Amino acid sequence: MKNEAPNGNIQLNLHGLQLNVTTISAAQDRKQNLGIEHIAVKTDDYAGAIAKLKSNGAHIMLEQVSNGHHVAFIEAPDGAQMELIEKK
């Protein structure tokens, strides 16, 4: 299933796994890269996941609340990013 999102972005539903194909956004307050920029993962235990990432030395680039969900961007050692989304 494919949905078109704002700014020409596309969301693909791959049998329950959402893949977002996006452009560089001037509205973002974090570093953005071309190519595979980030992967997003939803969690039932956002607070626990963030605590574990921090205790393991992960670089949390940004934490915010978006559409009522806690969201964080985490940077991997190679510069790739992961988006952690609170599942409600």
Torsion angle defined by CA atoms of residues 61, 50, 53 and 5, in that order, rounded to the nearest 10 degrees: -50
Say what the pLDDT of residue 51 is. Answer: 96
Q: What's the mean pLDDT when you consider all of the chain?
A: 83
The pLDDT-based confidence of 1 (bands split at 50, 70, 90) is low
The Cα 47–Cα 51 span in angstroms is: 6
pLDDT at position 71 over 90: yes
> What is the predicted pLDDT for the residue at 50?
96
Sheet holding 38-43, edge to edge: 38-43, 81-86, 69-75, 59-66
Per the model's pLDDT, the better-predicted residue between 67 and 9 turns out to be 67
Lowest mean pLDDT among 2-6, 57-61, 68-72, 83-87: 2-6
The pLDDT of residue 55 is 93
